[in-house]
Amino acid sequence: MAKKISFRSLLVLFAVGAVLLTGGVACYWQYIRHALEADVKTLIMANGTEAAADFDRAINADRHVLETIAITTQNDYPWKNSWELESFLLQQSQYNSFLALGLITMQGKVFLSQTQPLPEEFTQHILERTLQEGTYLSGQEPAPEGDEQIVIQAVTLHRANSTIGVLFAIMPDDRYEELLKLPVFGGEGFSFIIRRSDGAVMLEGRDISFANLYDVLHRSEFSSFKQARQLRQSIMDGAFAFAQYKFAKKRRFLYGLKLDVNDWYLLAELPTATVEMQARNFTSMSVGLFAFIFIIFSVFLAFILRLREYSNRQLFMTAFVDPLTGADNLNRMSQIFEEHLNALDRMASVVIFDITKFKVINDMYGYERGNQVLQRIAEILREEMLPNECFCRSAADNFVLLLSYQDRPQFHTRLNHLAAQIRRDCTAADACVMLDVAFGVYEVTEHIPFYIMMDRAYLALEKAKRSSRDKVQFYDEQDRRRILTERQVENSMEAALKNGEFCVYLQPKVDLKTGQMTEAEALVRWITPDKGIISPDAFIPVFEKNGFVLKLDMYILEQVVKLQDKWKKEGRTPVPVAVNFSRQHLNDSLYLTQMTRLVDRYQVPHELIEVELTESLILDNVELAQNAIRGLHQKGFSVVMDDFGSGYSSLNVLKGLQFDGIKLDKEFLNGFDDTKAAKQVIIGAVEMIKKLGVKVIAEGVETTAQVEFFRSIGCDLGQGYYFDKPLPVEEFEKRLLSLEK
């Protein structure tokens, strides 16, 4: 007969089990705590290093600004006109967001951007320190007047190898405050800067309770005198430093490294409470998981229920989860969108972002690396989500986010921070390629379906991709009107071409020596029955995108050669006419054959057709342009570079491409009558082009002074409203007839 287990034995077994479970949980907690602590150490070191680099860049940027202002200022020495100098200082101070900008001569005379004078001892101190060190950067110090804290940076002024004074800027202390914060730690971490020689605090990310670190090192907060001594020695040697200490009965991490300015040293600090809290959370979750598994496997029925739950979860994953990143897919986002939007009180924005030129990563490093980048982006988004916010991966490298929203500046800052996080953590192939992210934002203001909100965010995303500076763009009604206009243009372009609504206008080119019209340029105008003339700016970019420009260019060429043929049959002397060609023609191997066949159909001599190619088109692919120009020359057509000076043309490139003419862009010519330097640039450019044996056409000529200037520097032809605006064919033919008389 089996022995009956006593109640006492059960209590002992329960106690032993409880002790084992408690011990296991404690060991697990310690393991998790140490693992998280190691991760946080790595993270604080990385953020401290980044904060130091950002601070050095900011300081150097401000110094560069001062040195640039100094170059302009010292050229006006000896500063006889104090009002003009102080006005210049005020203008530069406002433009660069300085509190004040000042100049101190070697004799102690002070010129300021502000009307209120500064104490003599204050300016004398700046003069002495700057002359002593060459450049001067102060720590955080009280302003000469008021209660605010300021930072001073100064550089010396020189003339003829002699020091003639000092230029200084007064900046608010919060100019560098954001750089010293560690936002990834939820506001718990911060950094500050000390002077290595004596430990004095120079700048701080937030208020700290001590003014000198070395005084703190002698207290009992550090675990040992040896540790404190080692930390101080590392700081004074400018080496990396890492330590733990207690302050206000709380353990904290401290990480430091040397800065490039002065003898300053940056220290980053974080309380270990963050690590301990995460460890406790992990432990609680683990204990709950152990208990859950024990109960599930204790009961056969629970096993069956778990199996059913697993099957349901698999169905859910298939229908609503992106298999690559584990994030929600667009189906799931559509399902939960209204719920999350209402939870945010509809104070939200729909954001769509993708990675610019993501295909490059796949092409260069393989799809596996591209997938890893997408997985890491999903992890970052999970970390960045606030309560009731959500996101999904919609397709390829596109992600859709629903984020809480207060105002544009704050939201703009958040998205820039997210972009920086992605660039930092998702580099491709050992940081060889940095990711560039573009954001399209729709601010929720209407009760419209989710898919319409997405469409509007996509419109903003297209605008962000086109922008060379701000990659965060917000949807507005202009975007919708622009798309509607483009669709209207696309819907009517074929019929317009068929109905002859695209008309040729001719703008004369005049010989600057004789004043006679010798050539012309063909320009297109869209004349509709209901809207009248539509500007080329409204339809040419659309045609460039959809490829219709290929048809239009050939149509305009045909109208030009028809005119040439008509003039020849009427006994007139035809003038050469320039025709603009799109970049898409260069990618078409048949365009030259098609063009030649079209001109020959009307038996027009090839020398009467001049092909204009824009500078940007040529510089996008010099080799392709070179082949095109060579082919045009072989067929007897002349080639002119249009818009010279709008980009970054090289004269070596021009020499290799062998143009017949160079047309100076009107924007390049602007300002010649305002500054001597602008004139010299234009004169030099024309002189070098003429040495290549190429004719020079000045575009946008509008005044008699411009005509005289361009004639005097050797320009061959002029084109602009001074001579004639683009003319309908009938009016141009009247001009042509007057020449023959």
Q: Is residue 25 part of a domain?
A: no
541: domain CATH number? 3.20.20.450
- Residue 455 shares a structural domain with residue 492: no
Which of 118, 145, 175 is a domain's end point?
A: 175
Do the domain assignments include residue 318? Answer: no
Q: Which of 217-226, 411-420, 706-715 has the lowest mean pLDDT?
A: 217-226
Report the pLDDT averaged over residues 350-360: 84
Token pair of 416 as six digits: 């820039």
348 lies in some domain: yes
Q: State whether 667 and 528 are in the same domain.
A: yes
DSSP 413-431: HHHHHHHHHHHHH--BTTT
User: Is the confidence at residue 167, as pLDDT, over 50?
Assistant: yes
The owner of tokens 């004078």 is 117
pLDDT digits (tens, 9 = 90+) for 460-500: 998 888 776 788 999 987 877 777 778 888 888 999 899 99
Within this chain, do residues 676 and 536 fall inside the same structural domain, yes or no?
Answer: yes
pLDDT at residue 598 greater than cutoff 70: yes
Residues 168 and 184 grouped into a single domain = no
Q: 339 and 197, same structural domain?
A: no
Same domain? For 368 and 515 the reply is: no
Domain check: are 214 and 363 in the same one?
no
424 with 449, same domain: the answer is yes
Could you give the CA distance from residue 434 to residue 425 in angstroms, rounded to a whole number?
A: 10
Instruction: At 456, give phi and psi (nearest 5°).
Output: -70, -35
- Of 194-198, 201-205, 244-248, 735-739, which range is least confident? 244-248
Q: What is the mean pLDDT of residues 558-562?
A: 94
Percent of the chain with pLDDT over 70: 80
Q: Which of 126-140, 205-219, 318-332 has the least mean pLDDT?
A: 205-219
Residues forming beta bridges with residue 611, ordered by sequence position: 579, 639
Q: Which of 445, 475, 505 is the last residue of a domain?
A: 475
**pTM of the complete model beyond 0.75:** no
Which of 276, 291, 313 is a domain's end point?
Answer: 276
The answer to whether residue 18 sits within a structural domain is: no
pLDDT for the residue numbered 35: 67
Residues 279-304 pLDDT 10s: 566 666 766 666 666 566 455 545 55
Q: Tell me the H-state helices in 96-153.
A: 120-133
Position 345 pLDDT exceeds 90: yes
Across the chain, mean pLDDT equals 82
Q: What is the CATH number of the domain that holds 157?
A: 3.30.450.20
Is the confidence at residue 524, as pLDDT, over 90?
Answer: yes
**pLDDT greater than 90 at residue 503:** yes
**Per-residue confidence (pLDDT) for residue 7, from 0 to 100:** 45
Residues 329 and 257 in one domain: no
The reported pLDDT for the residue numbered 653 is: 60
| Same structural domain, 183 and 161 | no
571 & 657 share domain: yes
In a shared domain, residues 266 and 363: no
- Ranked by mean pLDDT, the top range of 144-158, 340-354, 369-383, 632-646 is 340-354
Q: Give domain status of residue 319, yes or no.
A: no
What percent of the chain shows pLDDT beyond 90? 29
Q: What is the reported pLDDT for 432?
A: 47
430 pLDDT exceeds 80? no
As a whole number, mean pLDDT of residues 212-219 equals 76
Q: Quote the number of domains for the chain.
A: 4
Q: Which of 699, 324, 259 is nearest to 523 (CA)?
A: 699
Amino acid at position 606, single letter: H
pLDDT tens-place string over residues 607-643: 999 998 877 677 667 778 888 888 999 999 999 988 7
Pairwise CA distance, residues 464 & 296, whole Å: 52
Q: What is the largest CA-CA distance in the chain?
A: 138
Q: Is residue 310 part of a domain?
A: no
* Residue 369 in this model has a pLDDT that exceeds 60: yes
Confidence of residue 671 (pLDDT cuts 50, 70, 90): low
pLDDT band at 10 (very low <50, low <70, confident <90, very high): very low
pLDDT of residue 361: 77
Q: Would you say residue 11 lies in a domain? A: no
Q: What is the CATH number of the domain that holds 411?
A: 3.30.70.270
pLDDT given at position 1: 37
Confidence of residue 429 (pLDDT cuts 50, 70, 90): very low
Q: Higher-confidence residue: 14 or 320?
A: 320
Instruction: Kindly indicate the confidence band of residue 582, based on its pLDDT and cuts at 50, 70 and 90.
Output: confident
Q: Is residue 237 part of a domain?
A: yes
How would DSSP label each residue in 280-341?
Answer: HHHHHHHHHHHHHHHHHHH-HHHHHHHHHHHHHHHHHHHHHB-TTT-SB-HHHHHHHHHHHH
Q: Which residues span the domain enclosing 633?
A: 486-740
